[in-house]
Amino acid sequence: MTTARLTVRLSQLSLHALPSIRSSSVPLPLLAPASIPTQAQLTWVSYVHRDPNYKHFAPNFGFKRKHYIEKFKKDRKQKFIKVNLPDPNEKDDYDSMTPEEIRAKMKEKGIKPVRPWQERPVCISSTTSTFEPYVPPEGDGKVSTLSTAGAKQKIERLEKKGKSMMAVRKIRQFDDDFDPKLFAADAQEIYIASHRALADGDMNKLHQCVTERAFPLVTHESRHKTIRWQFLGSLEPPRAVHIRCTDVISKENIFAQVTVRFHTKQTLAVYDRFGRLLHGSEVVARDVLEYVVFEKHMANTYGLWRVHDKIIPDWMPPKQPVRRTYRVKEMEEEEEEATPSKEETSEVADSQNEKPAVAVA
């Protein structure tokens, strides 16, 4: 300890004496090595003695940058687990592999086997189609009831009325107040409400007036379109022409479908998102003859009559195609302006053939 204190004291004295000696031009006298003890020679240190803010480690050139306690080496190794990560760029040819190899490969990667799901979504509040659809007579709405064709239509209607009356009896088991004649007026209100909800874009109201099967058909290509629809009146009172009932899964689970004939006058205009007219007109009214199918889940206490389908007969004329507008290119107009007309070309040729006049003295 005395040797270390003496070394530190001598180093402090030498550091205080160096600036004054260096400032003078007198050369430094060399101290005799015999005058200084061998154990107390001047040494430079890079730490402060007994200072808690500084730590000193003895130089150890074989030191590894790891934990220096070897007995915990095995414990540190067990903290890490080697995992073979899947390679996204790896291409597996499953066609040439056997089912057992595919299963082993997927089990190695931790992928569950793919099951061939063949289930379809089922909606229990409506059916998927129209059972026993009504076949409209040809020329309906144009043939007079006094003609022979009109008389034949009346006879065919009476023949098909028997099954409809049996279906009415089954409906009255759930709804005592059901009357086909009064239902036609209620069906017309549902028909008008569904069209107005579609024109206004009120999807919540449309779901109340249209079944789950008819909803995607009604809203097809109606996005970003402006629909102007107006009901002007009925040319003939609505009439229920076809009534059928069927049971699904169990005999108590009954669905009823009523086909109503509408002969009305309407206006329809469809605009695209830029305001261009695509179909119809808001001014010109048209006579519309439609056979609309209404459905209700009779077994459901809170069931509603909703639009389910529309019957389009084969003899009905095709629909008017959608009118699409396009912008005329400006290049065609510029080409027309650039090409000269025939009169201009003839005048230029005549001016070139004329000889210049010569003055005679």
Q: Does residue 190 sit in the same domain as residue 293?
A: yes
- β-strands 306-311, 254-271 pairing: unpaired
Burial class of residue 283 (count of CB atoms within 10 Å of its CB; 0-12, 13-18, 19+): exposed
* Final residue before a domain boundary, out of 27, 60, 83: 83
Cα–Cα dist 156/142, whole Å: 17
pLDDT at residue 54, rounded to an integer:
62
Query: Is 170 inside any structural domain?
Result: yes
Query: Is 55 inside any structural domain?
Result: yes
What is the Cβ-side half-sphere exposure of residue 144, based on CA atoms within 13 angstroms? 2
Instruction: Determine how many CB atoms are found less than 10 A away from the CB of residue 308.
Output: 23
Q: Does residue 291 sit in the same domain as residue 178?
A: yes
Q: Does residue 291 sit in the same domain as residue 176?
A: yes
pLDDT at residue 121, rounded to an integer:
76
Query: Is 208 inside any structural domain?
Result: yes
* Final residue before a domain boundary, out of 60, 83, 106: 83
Contact 130, 311 (CB under 8 A): yes
Q: What is the CATH number of the domain that holds 238?
A: 3.10.450.240
Phi and psi at residue 152, to the nearest 5°: -60, -40
* Final residue before a domain boundary, out of 270, 286, 311: 311
Query: Is 108 inside any structural domain?
Result: no
Q: Does residue 189 sit in the same domain as residue 300?
A: yes
Low-confidence ranges of the chain (pLDDT < 50): 15-36, 38, 40, 348, 355-361
Query: Is 238 inside any structural domain?
Result: yes
pLDDT at residue 316, rounded to an integer:
80
Q: Does residue 179 sit in the same domain as residue 307?
A: yes
Query: Is 65 inside any structural domain?
Result: yes
Query: Is 341 inside any structural domain?
Result: no
pLDDT at residue 19, rounded to an integer:
45
Query: Is 237 inside any structural domain?
Result: yes
Contact 164, 158 (CB under 8 A): no
Q: What is the DSSP string of 146-169?
A: TSHHHHHHHHHHHHTHHHHHHHHH
The four Cα atoms 136, 142, 146, 149 give a dihedral, to 10 degrees, of -50
How many independent structural domains does the chain possess?
2
Domain containing 68 equals 1-83
